Amino acid sequence: MRKGFASRLGKRLARLFRAFRGEVPEDAFALAFLKGEERALYLAMDPRDRAHAVRVAKRLLRAHPQAPSFAVRAALLHDAGKALRPYRPWERILTGLYAPPVPPYPLRRGLWGAIQIRRHHPLYAAERIQDPEVRALVLEHHRPQSLWGKRLHRADQEE
């Protein structure tokens, strides 16, 4: 039990340091996969979230080189719902530590809104994605049910 906790804590601390250091996302890689409105959704994301999305997509492709296009596109857009509000590291830290259940609507301001984003960002992203396969994977990425949903979740959790 302790080893799992220490591993998760280490991964979260590494993510925290990356968030403050800033990263340059590999947008060309992502845009080569994305279509139409997906490109605008991706580009609306904070650069730190885009860099994370590219790492998740590359991890998915390394583990499953045969991954269908919709799965790679879902990996690139799985956190697009977080773009509904500005990236505020302190909110991300607080809501990562504790985010009680809250309804998705109406979307509020302040810390309450940050909690809503944390809890419901897959829903907010899925509502903006037209492709049904991409939408379904994005929607289930925290509670995977399909084979590709499980693979996407695994690639996302490795970070």
Position 1 scores a pLDDT of: 45
DSSP 65: T
Task: Count Cβ atoms below 10 Å from residue 154 Cβ, excluding itself.
Answer: 15
Whole-angstrom Cα distance, residue 90 to residue 130?
32
Mean pLDDT calculated for residue range 81-101: 91
Mean pLDDT of the chain, nearest integer = 91
Position 61 scores a pLDDT of: 98
Walk me through the domains of the chain, giving residue ranges and CATH numbers. Answer: 2-157 (1.10.3210)
